[in-house]
């Protein structure tokens, strides 16, 4: 039974996820026994490192199974503050840290606390697909700063400047980027800091969830470290999902100015309460333990990212800005007048290849492919894509 009068205006405005539509179709085809190659993964293909799992099992056995502080396990908050201070070079203490149910809840809580209805949020494209929806849920409006695949999706500072209005409240930054894998340079970040200095009412959210997954020779700069004078306006989102292969654990965090963090804690205490107590002990072990497991995963992503990029560069009808981080590539495809959604549907129907349509990230000329799959799957996927392009053109 369908009855739209049951649904609030807010929920009516929510868009269903395009990625889910494609992956549901891919799953249905696999169940029918079809030969499907999926490059649509949005998560690590590694298992969570054993010592992290052991720490959580120990926590369960030790009785860490009850409600905890809404703001997070104090030891974990302390460890996050220490990491942010020592490794990211941003002086941080426990009052600046909120442990959240994944990076996603950090973003949701932040937007609920700092955005008013009608506020405008500057969002460079391509962007992670949940940002616009979480902005809308706070009653605000995303203002897309359209990126251009021809110039490597460099943020156009002039466009950014001319998009500012009296209503502008926040700028969203995501480096390393999902879906492009682009890592912003120090100079680009410094230019953004100068932009913020010219606009004292604008806050910034820096989503650094892929910080550990970068190519050799790349450096990740935490935005707070390059602009210490702006620290009260910088909100950092991070988490354990990507770097530590802990997507299902749901542990992330928000770092920022204490009044905002206090309100975000209040919001969390009245909605979800604390993040799963024993999962937080696993996250604590991740921060305190050896980083060798992360290095191993990074090495493997780097190899596979290079493999997929090389294959795409050599393919006719494809151009690409070389990804330097995360585990995605975002090639531009010559596909005539076909939309990226139709192209991805065709890919499934004609060559059994699952990819994510670029329009989900605000760029219809591209598709997102993942290198968080085996080497053989990458090689197979590239062959299928080549065949599809020859069919379309
Ligand atoms: N930010 C970006 C750019 C992401 O790609 C994701 C997940 O795909 C998240 C945040 C949310 O991560 P989490 O699983 O910790 O909620």
Instruction: Choose which residue among 104, 184, 250, 282 to substitute to test ligand 1 binding: the one with the highest number of ligand atoms within 8 A of its C-beta.
Output: 104
387 alpha carbon to ligand 1 midpoint, in Å?
Answer: 32
228 alpha carbon to ligand 1 midpoint, in Å?
Answer: 25
Within the chain, strands assigned E span: 37-38, 97-100, 120-124, 141-145, 168-174, 203-207, 234-239, 252-255, 318-319, 328-329, 332-333, 353-354, 356-357, 367-370
Ligand 1 atom closest to 105 (CA):
16
**pLDDT of the residue at 247:** 96
Instruction: Choose which residue among 17, 40, 43, 128 to substitute to test ligand 1 binding: the one with the highest number of ligand atoms within 8 A of its C-beta.
Output: 128
Q: Tell me, using a 6 A CB cutoff, whether residue 247 lines ligand 1.
A: yes
Cα–Cα distances (Å) from 233 to 162, 193, 223, 229, 377, in that order, read 21, 11, 11, 9, 43
For residue 52, give the nearest of 239, 301, 251, 287 by alpha carbon.
Answer: 287
Q: Report pLDDT digits (tens) over 327-345.
A: 999 999 998 889 999 999 9
Q: Tell me, using a 6 A CB cutoff, whether residue 179 lines ligand 1.
A: no
240 alpha carbon to ligand 1 midpoint, in Å?
Answer: 10
103 alpha carbon to ligand 1 midpoint, in Å?
Answer: 5
Q: Tell me, using a 6 A CB cutoff, whether residue 243 lines ligand 1.
A: no
Confidence band, pLDDT 50/70/90 cuts, at residue 198? very high
Ligand 1 atom closest to 252 (CA):
15
209 alpha carbon to ligand 1 midpoint, in Å?
Answer: 7
Residue 99 pLDDT exceeds 80: yes
Ligand 1 atom closest to 326 (CA):
5
Cα–Cα distances (Å) from 129 to 20, 133, 178, 384, in that order, read 12, 8, 9, 26
Q: Report pLDDT digits (tens) over 69-95.
A: 999 999 999 999 999 999 999 999 999
Instruction: Choose which residue among 100, 105, 209 to substitute to test ligand 1 binding: the one with the highest number of ligand atoms within 8 A of its C-beta.
Output: 209
Confidence band, pLDDT 50/70/90 cuts, at residue 26? confident
**pLDDT of the residue at 2:** 64
Residue 21 pLDDT exceeds 80: no
221 alpha carbon to ligand 1 midpoint, in Å?
Answer: 18
Interacting residues of 238 by C-beta distance below 8 A, sequence separation 6+: 103, 106, 207, 208, 209, 211, 252, 253, 255
Confidence band, pLDDT 50/70/90 cuts, at residue 185? very high
251 alpha carbon to ligand 1 midpoint, in Å?
Answer: 11
Higher pLDDT, 109 or 15: 109
Q: Tell me, using a 6 A CB cutoff, whether residue 42 lines ligand 1.
A: yes
Q: Tell me, using a 6 A CB cutoff, whether residue 163 lines ligand 1.
A: no
Kindly report each contact of residues 154-159 with a partner whose C-beta sits within 8 Å and lies 24 or more positions away, as own/partner: 154/188, 155/124, 155/184, 155/188, 155/192, 157/191, 157/195
**Do residues 102 and 250 lie in contact, with contact meaning Cβ atoms separated by under 8 Å?**
yes
Q: Tell me, using a 6 A CB cutoff, whether residue 326 lines ligand 1.
A: no
Q: Report pLDDT digits (tens) over 126-156.
A: 999 999 999 999 999 999 999 999 999 999 9
Instruction: Choose which residue among 220, 242, 244, 279 to substitute to test ligand 1 binding: the one with the highest number of ligand atoms within 8 A of its C-beta.
Output: 242
Average pLDDT, the chain: 95
Q: Report pLDDT digits (tens) over 258-285.
A: 999 999 999 999 999 999 999 999 999 9
Tokens of 105: 């809840």
Q: Tell me, using a 6 A CB cutoff, whether residue 174 lines ligand 1.
A: yes
Ligand 1 atom closest to 43 (CA):
8
Q: Tell me, using a 6 A CB cutoff, whether residue 178 lines ligand 1.
A: yes
189 alpha carbon to ligand 1 midpoint, in Å?
Answer: 21
Q: Report pLDDT digits (tens) over 218-264.
A: 999 999 999 999 999 999 999 999 999 999 999 999 999 999 999 99
Give nearest CA residue, ligand 1 atom 5: 178
Residue 1 pLDDT exceeds 60: no
Residue 263 Cα to chain centre, angstroms? 24
Q: Tell me, using a 6 A CB cutoff, whether residue 207 lines ligand 1.
A: yes
Q: Tell me, using a 6 A CB cutoff, whether residue 241 lines ligand 1.
A: yes
pTM for the model stands at 0.96
Residue with token string 């506020």: 119
Pairing between β-strand 318-319 and β-strand 332-333 as defined by DSSP bridges = antiparallel
């Amino acid at each position: 039974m369908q009855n739209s009068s049951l649904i609030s205006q807010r929920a009516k405005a929510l868009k269903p996820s395009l990625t889910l539509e494609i992956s549901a179709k891919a799953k249905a085809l696999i169940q029918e026994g079809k030969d499907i190659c999926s490059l649509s993964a949005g998560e690590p293909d590694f298992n969570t490192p054993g010592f992290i799992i052991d720490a959580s099992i120990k926590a369960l056995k030790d009785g860490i199974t009850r409600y905890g502080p809404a703001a997070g396990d104090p030891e974990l908050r302390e460890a996050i503050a220490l990491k942010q201070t020592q490794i990211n070079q941003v002086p941080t203490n426990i009052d600046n840290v909120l442990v959240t149910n994944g990076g996603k809840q950090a973003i949701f809580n932040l937007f609920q606390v700092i955005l008013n209805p009608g506020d405008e949020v500057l969002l460079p494209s391509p962007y992670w697909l949940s940002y616009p929806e979480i902005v809308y849920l706070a009653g605000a409006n995303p203002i897309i700063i359209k990126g251009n695949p021809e110039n490597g999706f460099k943020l156009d500072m002039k466009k950014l400047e001319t998009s500012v209005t009296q209503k502008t409240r926040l700028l969203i930054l995501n480096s390393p980027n999902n879906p492009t894998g682009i890592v912003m340079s120090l100079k680009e970040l410094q230019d953004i800091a100068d932009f913020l200095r010219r606009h004292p009412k604008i806050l910034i959210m820096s989503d650094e969830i892929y910080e550990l997954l970068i190519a050799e020779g790349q450096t990740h700069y935490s935005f707070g470290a390059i602009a210490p004078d702006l620290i009260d306006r910088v909100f950092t989102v991070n988490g354990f999902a990507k770097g530590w292969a802990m997507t299902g654990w749901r542990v992330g965090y928000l770092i920022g100015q204490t009044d905002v963090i206090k309100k975000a804690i209040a919001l969390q205490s009245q909605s979800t309460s604390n993040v799963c107590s024993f999962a937080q002990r696993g996250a604590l072990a991740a921060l305190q333990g050896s980083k060798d497991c992360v290095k191993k995963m990074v090495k493997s992503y780097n190899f596979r990212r290079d493999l997929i990029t090389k294959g795409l560069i050599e393919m006719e009808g494809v151009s690409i800005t070389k990804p330097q981080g995360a585990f995605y590539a975002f090639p531009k495809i010559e596909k005539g007048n076909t939309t990226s959604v139709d192209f991805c549907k065709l890919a499934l129907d004609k060559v059994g290849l699952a990819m994510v349509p670029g329009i989900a990230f605000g760029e219809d000329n591209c598709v997102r492919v993942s290198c968080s799959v085996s080497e053989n799957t990458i090689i197979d996927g590239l062959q299928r894509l080549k065949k599809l392009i020859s069919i379309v053109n």
